[in-house]
Amino acid sequence: MPTFNFCPQCASPLEVAPVQNHSRLVCAARCGFVHWDNPIPVVAAIVEYENDTLILIQNKGWPAEWFGLVSGFLEKGENPDEAVLREVKEELGLDAQLIESLGVFSFNQRNELILAYHVKASGPIVMDPNELEAYKIIPIHEARPWPFGTGIALKKWLKKRKEG
């Protein structure tokens, strides 16, 4: 998220000030504007593909060794259940079936709130080359969660799956 320099209500400069025990950007002219910097809602999908495999994706600009879950921003007026299926369709060209919601996970480093889902999909993959650099299909038992963001949701799902 870009840093604001000026108040969107009166165009005065913004300054850091305490608001409700937190440092916030507020209007220096005291018109009442406070930039709350609320987290951005994101949906993420653990895409179970065909027989006991997962699809992991590599977004444009990520390092070559980074792969993660299909994810994207929740659009205005969109239901999160619909958003996660839309993201799978946009990024991989797959129609998916929603299996379950896995929960809500904070990704403080990016100021995001991740709504994670388990979906199942099959069929031919048609990767969006404008958004993705690559994808890979791995056996579920080879999945290794990463310690932040969507990796926390994957860790929870793998643990639940193992416990039966």
pLDDT in tens, the chain (164 residues): 457 899 999 999 999 999 999 999 999 998 999 999 899 999 999 999 988 999 999 999 999 999 999 999 999 999 999 999 999 999 999 999 999 999 999 988 889 999 999 999 999 999 999 999 999 999 999 999 999 999 999 999 999 998 97
- Report pLDDT for 113: 96
Closest CA to 155 of 164, 163, 43, 146: 146
With CA atoms as reference, report the closest residue to 107 among 69, 75, 147, 74. Answer: 147
Residue type, 42: V
Pairing of strands 53-59, 132-139: antiparallel
CA 40/CA 22 separation, integer angstroms: 18
- Answer yes or no: are the C-beta atoms of 3 and 13 closer than 8 Å: no
Strands 40-49 and 70-73: antiparallel
For residue 22, how far is the Cα from the chain centroid? Answer: 25
Encoding tokens for residue 84?
């996660």
Of 89, 98, 105, nearest to 146 by C-alpha is 105
Torsion angle (degrees, nearest 10) of CA 19, 20, 22, 23: 0
